[in-house]
Amino acid sequence: MKIIDFHNHHYPPEYIEALRAEQGAVTVTDDADGNPVLYSPGDYNVAVPGHRDITFREQVLEDEGIDMQVVTLTSPGTHLSPPVQSVALARIVNDAFAEIMKDNPDRFTALGTLPLNDPEAAVRELERAILELGMRGIMLYSNINGVPLHHEMFLPLYEKANELNAVLYIHPIHPVGVEAMTDYWLMPLVGFTFDTTLAAAGLVFSGIVERFPAITWVLAHLGGAIPYLAERLDRGYHAFEECREHISRLPSDQLKEFYYDTVNFDPNALRLAIAFAGSSHLLAGSDYPHMIGSLSSMVESIQMLDIPEAEKVDILGGNAQRLLF
């Protein structure tokens, strides 16, 4: 049984140093332990060794019995910088990811990042990531400086992604309405999951999902609230003309075709997602090395499920294997 962690994050050291040199919307300092701290408006991330040291990470995976990870970037992304710098930052990240894949292909693959505040450049970088660097797709953030993913400015990107049969993985970032989430870490705990839910619903109702059927969509954090709220979206489809304007199929039918990573370590929540989309559409995820991530909880929560062993094997790695290779 091969265990593939679909949801985890890496800050290439070159990316951190480029942000440090820029000191623009994202500033970089160091904490008392020498870890870089990336400050962005309303947020900060401490880049611990697991975030930035691949050799350190390899040993952790060996100790935890994890065979492979699908490496992605995380907040703050590249799109807080002006477009020229955003393009350069995305190339730095993707080149670093490609080098990691090349150096240890049995341990790591990656989904690239894009300069999403420059849609034309994003299309070019998507092509480069897939056709030149060997990635199967990219990670999209749930909004781009407040612009929703279903905005028409991103249509050329989806056209190209559809042409390339790309995997598009939606991960939350600084959510809209964040001013209501400043206490008790409500932004990552609640706002992130709601922003993913909002992004997925917008992509469906706008017709983008139906219009570009060759794209494979993946949602982080078990889809936010999508498995729980899908029936409500269907009621909107029946009740409101606007919700039928761009689509011919029920929202739930489309959302059942999405994939969902298992970064919700409650077996009851996992059971709901399986009842909604099927075990064939769940992908093991840890959120390593964030403070609220856990490689062991990823595995244990899946092993606790009362489902056939073959389905556990698929969730732990088989589904990701078929999706990405």
Q: For 291, list phi and psi in degrees, rounded to 5.
A: -60, -35
Q: Residue 164 contacts by C-beta under 8 Å, 6 or more apart in sequence?
A: 126, 127, 130, 131
d(CA 101, CA 91): 15
User: Is 19 part of a structural domain of the chain?
Assistant: no
pLDDT at position 41: 81
Strands 147-148 and 282-283 come out as unpaired
pLDDT tens-digit map of 233-251: 999 999 999 999 999 999 9
d(CA 196, CA 171): 7
CATH number of the domain where residue 71 is located: 3.20.20.140
User: Is 33 part of a structural domain of the chain?
Assistant: no
User: Is 290 part of a structural domain of the chain?
Assistant: yes
User: Is 143 part of a structural domain of the chain?
Assistant: yes
Mean pLDDT of 90-100: 98
CA neighbor of 155 nearest in space, from 194, 130, 122: 122
CA neighbor of 76 nearest in space, from 68, 86, 61, 84: 86
pLDDT tens-digit map of 6-41: 999 999 999 999 999 988 889 999 999 999 999 988
d(CA 230, CA 254): 10
User: Is 32 part of a structural domain of the chain?
Assistant: no
User: Is 14 part of a structural domain of the chain?
Assistant: no
Mean pLDDT of 255-281: 98
User: Is 24 part of a structural domain of the chain?
Assistant: no
- In which domain, by residue range, is 111 found? 4-9+50-324
CA neighbor of 12 nearest in space, from 118, 116, 108, 126: 108
The tokens describing 103, both together, are 């150096």
d(CA 198, CA 95): 31
The band of 191, judged by pLDDT with boundaries at 50, 70 and 90, is: confident
pTM recorded for the entire structure? 0.96
User: Is 37 part of a structural domain of the chain?
Assistant: no
The count of structural domains within the chain is 1
